[in-house]
Structure 1
Amino acid sequence: MNPIIDLRQAIVNRVQDNSKEQLAEVIEGSVDHDEKALPGLGVLFEMIWKQSSQTEQTHLVDTLYQHLNTDAGAGAANPSPS
């Protein structure tokens, strides 16, 4: 078995029955915290990306690009290790 597929499925299984509020808590609890949460956020982002329209994907990329290319975003783009 492919360990990446197993990790994706484990993450989905862990959150699939969560309410909207619980999903928000998972995301908010993972942002700017332990790097162990980053693969989970990646899987959640992948799900969002696959279900987004081209317009929504463009908006996400624009938002990320703006964040990475501003003075405020420069420090966040290279966070210090936890």
Structure 2
Amino acid sequence: MDLNLRNAVISNVSGNTQDQLKSTIIDAIQSGEEKMLPGLGVLFEVIWKHASDSDKVEMLETLEQGLKTP
């Protein structure tokens, strides 16, 4: 992923409230547009980098379960 894209996504959401971040994530998912995927990836990267080890385990368990569900 291009570093400029990463910086642009972070710049666009820096300072947003939790409600604004939630709306951004929901809108990106509901739109179903492929072009939104890199931005969601950047947000996930931020979450992952700042998560505790136990939070990472929980995210991986949630992801694993979500991928098993049809």
Q: Which residue in the other structure is 1:8 paired with?
A: 6
CA distance in 2, matches of 1:19, 1:62: 27
Question: RCO higher in 1 or 2 (8 Å CA, sep ≥ 6)?
Answer: 2
More helix by share: 2
Q: Deviations over 1:18-65 (max 9, x none)?
A: 222111110010114211111000000000001001110000000111
Q: Which residue in the other structure is 1:48 paired with?
A: 47
CA distance in 2, matches of 1:17, 1:9: 14
Displacement over 4 Å in runs of 4+: none
User: TM-score under structure 2 normalisation?
Assistant: 0.90
Question: Which runs of 5 or more structure 1 residues have no equivalent in the other structure?
Answer: 75-82
Question: Which runs of 5 or more structure 2 residues have no equivalent in the other structure?
Answer: none
Identical-residue share of aligned pairs (%): 39
User: TM-score under structure 1 normalisation?
Assistant: 0.77
Count of residue correspondences: 69
Q: RMSD value over aligned CA atoms?
A: 1.2
Task: Give the number of the structure whose alpha-carbon radius of gyration is greater.
Answer: 1
